[in-house]
Amino acid sequence: MNVELSELVRRFGRTQAVAGVSLRAGPGVFGLLGPNGAGKTSLLRMMATVLAPSSGHMELLGRDPGEHAQRREIRRRLGYLPQNLGYYPGFTVTEFVEYFALLKDMPPGQVPRAVATAVERVGLGDRRRSKLKSLSGGMLRRVGIAQAIVNDPELLLLDEPTAGLDPEQRMGFRALLREMGERATVMVSTHLVEDVGAACTEVALMNQGSVVFYGTPGELTARGEGSGAAGDAPLERGYSAVLAEARS
Amino acid sequence: MNEVNVPPDVDLGRVWTGVAARVWCRTPGRAERLATRLLRSPGLARALVVTPSLLLGWVIATCVVLIAGIAATRGTGTPWVALLDPALAAAGIAYAYGPGIDPAWELSQSMAVSDRMVLLARALAVFGLNAGLGLIASTVSGTAAAVTFGWLVPMTAVCALALAAATLARSANVGVAAGMAGWAITVLAGRVAAGTVNVVVTPQFLVLPYLAFAACCGALVLYATRIPGGAR
């Protein structure tokens, strides 16, 4: 298992953002669904080792992120796209991706090919020399995805990766996710149900810090059948049905 | 258009990536190569050479201020270089790195090369550069050796204050303001007490308090850059 979470809790003052989440995930694309404030981002930040849990146990890629040397090993094999990706306006696309490839401790000899591969995979080859300040929001998101995949991570954490992407780019991105999920554990936080249906092999639905559903997209769809829950698509109706049940 | 027959065992995508890697490859500059050798980390070296307060424009601006300080010192007899350089170093360090300066701070925190190492390398480099430039300027201005070396200790304290304020407040401007204000208060208080600024920058009896203050500020920086909610 690449991800093993046990009773993970994260508090911010009196607010409990993550309330005892337990999860196990191996290779595949894992969707984290839920309304705003459900705790998805806090959970991903803990897995990205930028936020420590208040309590509970976490093992990533078979290592303990609480221990310095093991955390560094995890970070070498990690790809992370934060919800709000800051960028350096004066950097070009390749400079930005290369910068983070080096900070991920990649061997310098492998960096140029890895950068070229990542930039091509997100379809920004023709904009490689463009300064980041000249790119659109969707292109910046793709630059963020490129830096996340540049080290061919074993654990890829993406927080709202499709925000700002047009439909064609989203389809291309889902194909990329499926490809990455063949070897790595890909965790995608989103509130776009159609992304989950198209790309994810498993899905967890979070509400108020807790996982209220865990299963396949098909199983989530089945929960909405005959429930009379709101939604334009079967998966959306499943999502609504589970949330309504959790809130009742 | 002529069609090109590609053998089935040739992956054109892979070939193109190889070509792109060669063509797009950036050659590190001399400073980056030197930093890589010294730090034994290409990532840390790259992070160092893109420090905002080590970029050419910033260094030129620092030199211009110090040259003006040399002229003022020679003209008035007041050690202006010694008064200006700690303030310049404090501003440089506040703009070196941190949550309020690095737009990709959250991402940087998830990297194998730790953000604390980047912060340490950048702060030391900025301090070293400003100390070196200040010493040269102080020597050129003909200031007494006691004054020349005397301001290095208060400069350490002022820089630590600026760094601590910048990381705690998550704002480089707050760091600059704290550093400048701390230094101005120190200089003016010394002037009021002793009647001359020379005494302020060479106070032997204040060396330990200055260093203790710098150590406290260092502890605050460690606190401000920890992983929230857990020990590192």
Q: What ipTM was assigned to the predicted interfaces of this complex?
A: 0.86
Mean pLDDT (chain A, rounded): 90
Instruction: Pick the most confident of A30-39, B135-144, B205-214.
Output: A30-39
* pLDDT of A136 over the 70 cut: yes
Say what the pLDDT of residue B232 is. 35
Distance separating alpha carbons of residues B178 and B12, to the nearest angstrom:
57
Q: Which residue from B24, B47, B228 is facing A103, i.e. has the nearest CB?
A: B47
Strand intervals (E) in A66-201: 78-81, 155-159, 185-189
* pLDDT of A27 over the 50 cut: yes
The two beta strands, A15-25 and A3-12, are: antiparallel
The two beta strands, A78-81 and A155-159, are: parallel
Nearest to B83 by CA among B164, B216, B163, B202: B202
Say what the pLDDT of residue A99 is. 93
Say what the pLDDT of residue A103 is. 94
Q: Tokens in use for A113?
A: 């090919």
Confirm if A159 and A189 have CB atoms less than 8 A apart. yes
What residues contact residue B65 under an 8 Å CB cut-off, 6+ apart? B84, B88
Q: pLDDT tens digits for B72-129?
A: 988 888 888 888 888 999 999 998 877 777 888 889 889 999 888 898 999 999 999 9
The two beta strands, A202-207 and A210-215, are: antiparallel
The mean pLDDT value for A119-124 works out to: 90
DSSP structure class, residue A119: H
Q: Which residue from A11, A45, A116 is facing B21, i.e. has the nearest CB?
A: A116
Q: How many CA atoms lie within 13 A of A174 on its CB side?
A: 18
Judged by DSSP in three states, A213 sits in strand
Distance separating alpha carbons of residues A110 and B194, to the nearest angstrom:
61
The distance in angstroms from the start CA to the end CA of chain B is 62
**Residues of B at the A interface (Cβ-Cβ below 8 Å)?**
13, 16-18, 20-22, 24-26, 41-43, 46-47, 50, 102-114, 118, 227-232
pLDDT band at B231 (very low <50, low <70, confident <90, very high): very low
Confirm if A226 and A248 have CB atoms less than 8 A apart. no
**Higher-scoring residue by pLDDT: B12, A201:** A201
**Higher-scoring residue by pLDDT: A86, B148:** A86
Could you tell me what percent of chain A has a pLDDT over 70? 100
pLDDT band at A196 (very low <50, low <70, confident <90, very high): confident
Say what the pLDDT of residue B145 is. 63
Q: pLDDT tens digits for B174-192?
A: 999 999 999 898 888 877 8
Confirm if A78 and A134 have CB atoms less than 8 A apart. no
* pLDDT of B230 over the 50 cut: no
Q: How many interface pairs between A and B have CB atoms less than 8 angstroms apart?
A: 109
